[in-house]
């Protein structure tokens, strides 16, 4: 067994040991589910009386005691009636048993020695001696609705970390401590980038002036780069008639993530969750020739998705989002080269933003879900998945395959990127769509005068404004590069006598395209400098009577300290070059 698969078994086994520890102390606790997650596990419980995070140390101690007993994990298939009898005091388990019975699925249980039995398909370790008792930690508790539905009971979710070694655990905890300091929600408040309002609604971010500057700069970057690569920009409405989403397949495949319909003049209208059906409509608005392809349509379109309230997380998961979206309509002979260009565009952006590590996931369909979760076109799935696989192999990028992660209309490449402290994020995506062209009857006339169906490539290398800026806040810890920084330079006059000189410098820099502020408050110079450094402004320009007489400025660079006196013209040339080149 590989190290990667065994750690999954360890994490899953620890979730069962956690449940066993809980039941030993609180026998009347009702059990939810206990799956593995990326770095550990969790288990959901309904307690008779509340617990708090101070209780976790006691649960950890009991888990370690169970590990040291060298307990075996053994699976067993039993009848539905036997499962109901075994778990008669566990209502959530009985609900799951009823669902499995309806699906005529076998009922699988796992016994942990003679201390615990759970409804579970596994896999687990064979014996608890495979688990390092020093390489796991219970971290925190949170509320979670049963099955993620707000109408169901609120359970207490206990999270845990688990690794193969104590060293890996310690390194991850250290990284998470650093990540807390970089939490985009806290830094967003501190630097006045965005906010949320209960009056407006959950998951609907409001961009403040500073955040809007960053948002605009990223959109300008995308427009500039896409224009150079032959993209054409379009703009589409945020609502449409129901028929468009029936045609695209979003109803019913994506309905649970869409806002409820609005009745307008007796017809149902929906807020758009994505731009693709609109772009397909643009493509089909006139006859197309093979000479027009590839046709690249781009839009930072505003979309709305109904994410469950319990899953909302700052800018990382929202209900209102602006996506760096584009759809590329290509001939069969252009597919591979165009996908390669899109991946190269991803790589360009990653280098620009100082992202040193990216991992590609080839997201595939699941044959069992054809006709339900995915369009029932088995041969097309096979062909298109192989195309994406070959492109990734040709590019020699690090990738892995994941079944049952595709879009409902085709396979995709999801890109996992890592911040400067190693925290992983899922941002960009490249999707190969074989179903939408058929559903929208998209055609072009080939060189022989015949009607042919194009392929469609969906791509969003900069993700959404919301998620990407959330990532950048944490990646840079709020210390944005000069070209992105809301305030690029702040001028600190030492006294009122040089306020006019400070204004002259400000006007000069503003006319050169630099975002400047003046701090002419009555605070001491030391306090002004500390305030500017707390705001992580790239350049601090100190001016006194000496600088006014010499026509210079004393320059400080965030993270580097005092750079000494500089000629204003030279400084302007340097900072504008830094901004223009997006250093």
Pairing outcome for strands 325-330 and 455-459: antiparallel
**What is the DSSP secondary-structure string of 125-179?**
-SBGGGS-TTSEEEEEEEEEEGGG-TTSPEEEEEEEEE-SSHHHHHHHHHHHHHH
Q: What values do phi and psi take at 480, rounded to 5?
A: -70, 150
What residue ranges define each of the domains in the chain, with the CATH number in brackets? 3-179 (3.30.980.10), 188-476 (3.30.930.10), 489-580 (3.40.50.800)
Nearest to 16 by CA among 34, 37, 40: 34
Name the 3-class secondary structure at 417: strand
Number of neighbouring beta carbons within 10 Å of residue 86: 17
Tell me, what's the pLDDT at 170? 95
- Distance between CA atoms of 203 and 321, rounded to whole angstroms? 9
CA dist., res. 278 & res. 274, Å (int):
9
Task: State the Cα–Cα distance between residues 286 and 445, nearest whole angstrom.
Answer: 12
How far the first Cα of the chain sits from its last, in Å, is 46
What is the reported pLDDT for 436? 85
- Per-residue pLDDT of 265-290, as tens digits, reads 999 999 999 999 999 999 999 999 99
Task: Indicate the length of the chain as a whole number.
Answer: 583
**pLDDT at residue 210 greater than cutoff 80:** yes
Buried b (16+ CB within 10 A) or exposed e, 315-329: bbbbbbbbbbbbbbb
Q: Please, are residues 479 and 420 in contact by the beta-carbon 8 Å criterion?
A: no
Confidence of residue 88 (pLDDT cuts 50, 70, 90): very high
Q: Is the dihedral of CA 282, 285, 289, 291 positive or negative?
A: negative
* Gap between the Cα atoms of 583 and 484, Å rounded: 10
Q: What is the pLDDT of residues 95-110, one digit of tens each?
A: 999 998 887 777 999 9
Cβ atoms of residues 409 and 372 within 8 Å? no
pLDDT of residue 3: 56
Average pLDDT, rounded, for the chain: 92
**What does the alpha-carbon distance between residue 132 and residue 85 come to, in Å, rounded to a whole number?**
34
Residue 379, C-beta contacts closer than 8 angstroms, at least 6 positions apart: none
Q: From CA 450, how far away is CA 444, in angstroms rounded?
A: 8
Report the distance separating Cα 413 and Cα 581, nearest Å. 30
Checking if the pLDDT of 372 tops 80, the result is no
| Cα 297 from chain centre | 24
Q: Buried b vs exposed e over 183-196: b needs ≥16 C-beta within 10 Å? A: ebbebbeebebbeb
CA dihedral sign of residues 371, 372, 378, 383: positive
Side-chain-side CA neighbours of 194 within 13 Å: the count stands at 26
Mean pLDDT over 509-528 rounds to: 95
Instruction: State pLDDT tens for residues 289-343.
Output: 999 999 999 999 899 999 888 788 899 999 999 999 999 999 989 998 999 999 9
| Average pLDDT of the residues in 141-157 | 92
Percent of the chain with pLDDT over 70: 99
Cis omega (within 30 of 0) on the bond before 123?
A: yes
**pLDDT score at 155:** 96
Cα pseudo-dihedral 168, 171, 176, 181, rounded to 10:
-170
> Strands 302-304 and 295-299: what pairing?
unpaired
| pLDDT class of 260 with cuts at 50, 70, 90 | very high
Binning pLDDT at 50, 70 and 90, where does residue 154 land? Answer: very high
Rounded CA separation 304/321 (Å): 6
pLDDT (average), residues 165-178: 92
Token reading at 151: 């109408």
Residue among 383, 410, 364 at smallest CA distance from 248: 410
Asked if residue 4 has pLDDT above 60, the reply is no
Between CA 18 and CA 64 the distance in angstroms is 10
pLDDT tens, residue by residue, 375-392: 777 887 888 888 888 888
Spatial distance between the Cα atoms of 7 and 383, rounded to a whole number of angstroms: 33
What's the pLDDT tens digit per position in 417-462? Answer: 888 888 888 888 888 887 889 889 999 999 999 999 999 999 999 9
Q: Is the model's pLDDT at 1 over the cut of 60? A: no
């Amino acid at each position: 067994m590989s190290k990667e698969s065994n750690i999954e078994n360890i994490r899953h086994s620890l979730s069962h040991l956690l449940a066993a520890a809980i039941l030993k102390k609180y026998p009347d606790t009702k059990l939810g589910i206990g799956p593995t997650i990326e770095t550990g596990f969790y288990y959901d419980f309904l307690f008779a009386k509340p617990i708090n995070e101070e209780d976790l140390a006691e649960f950890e101690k009991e888990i370690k005691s169970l590990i040291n007993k060298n307990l075996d994990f053994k699976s067993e298939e039993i009848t539905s009636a036997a499962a109901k009898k075994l778990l008669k005091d566990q209502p959530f388990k009985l609900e799951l048993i009823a669902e499995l019975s309806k699906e005529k699925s076998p009922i699988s249980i796992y016994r942990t020695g003679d201390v615990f039995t759970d409804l579970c398909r596994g896999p687990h370790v064979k014996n608890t001696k495979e688990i390092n008792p020093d390489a796991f930690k219970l971290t925190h508790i949170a509320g979670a609705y049963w099955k993620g539905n707000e109408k169901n009971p609120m359970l207490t979710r206990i999270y845990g970390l688990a690794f193969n070694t104590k060293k890996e655990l310690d390194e991850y905890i250290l990284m998470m401590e650093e990540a807390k300091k970089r939490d985009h929600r806290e830094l967003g408040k501190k630097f006045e980038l965005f906010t949320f309002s209960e009056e407006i609604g959950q998951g609907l971010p409001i961009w403040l002036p500073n955040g809007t500057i960053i948002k605009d700069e990223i959109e300008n970057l995308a427009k500039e780069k896409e224009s150079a690569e032959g993209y054409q920009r379009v703009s589409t409405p945020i609502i449409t008639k129901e028929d468009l989403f029936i045609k695209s397949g979003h109803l019913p495949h994506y309905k649970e993530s869409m806002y409820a319909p609005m009745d307008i003049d007796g017809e149902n209208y929906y807020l758009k969750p994505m731009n693709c059906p609109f772009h397909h409509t643009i493509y089909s608005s006139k006859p197309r020739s093979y000479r027009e392809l590839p046709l690249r349509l781009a839009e930072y379109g505003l979309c709305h998705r109904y994410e469950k309230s319990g899953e909302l997380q700052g800018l990382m998961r929202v209900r209102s989002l602006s996506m760096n979206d584009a759809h590329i309509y290509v001939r069969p002979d252009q597919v591979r080269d165009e996908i390669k260009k899109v991946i190269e565009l991803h790589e360009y952006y990653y280098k620009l933003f100082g992202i040193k590590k990216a991992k590609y996931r080839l997201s595939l369909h699941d044959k069992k879900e054809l006709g339900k979760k995915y369009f029932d076109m088995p041969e097309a799935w096979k062909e298109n998945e192989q195309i994406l696989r070959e492109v990734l192999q040709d590019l020699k990028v690090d990738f892995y395959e994941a079944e049952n992660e595709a879009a409902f209309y085709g396979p995709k490449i999801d890109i996992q990127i890592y911040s400067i402290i190693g925290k992983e994020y899922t941002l960009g995506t490249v999707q190969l769509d074989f179903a939408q062209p058929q559903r929208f009857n998209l055609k072009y006339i080939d060189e022989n005068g015949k009607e042919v169906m194009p392929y469609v490539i969906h791509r969003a290398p900069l993700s959404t404004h919301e998620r990407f800026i959330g990532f950048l806040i944490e990646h840079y810890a709020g210390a944005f590069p000069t070209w992105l920084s809301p305030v690029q330079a702040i001028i600190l006059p030492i006294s009122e006598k040089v306020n006019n000189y400070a204004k002259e410098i400000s006007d000069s820099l503003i006319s050169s395209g630099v975002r400047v502020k003046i701090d002419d408050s009555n605070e001491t110079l030391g306090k002004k400098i500390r305030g500017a450094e707390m705001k992580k402004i790239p350049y601090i320009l100190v001016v006194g009577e000496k600088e006014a007489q010499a026509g210079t400025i004393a320059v400080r660079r965030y993270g580097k300290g005092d750079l000494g006196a500089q000629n204003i013209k030279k400084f302007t040339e340097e900072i504008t070059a830094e901004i223009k080149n997006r250093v």
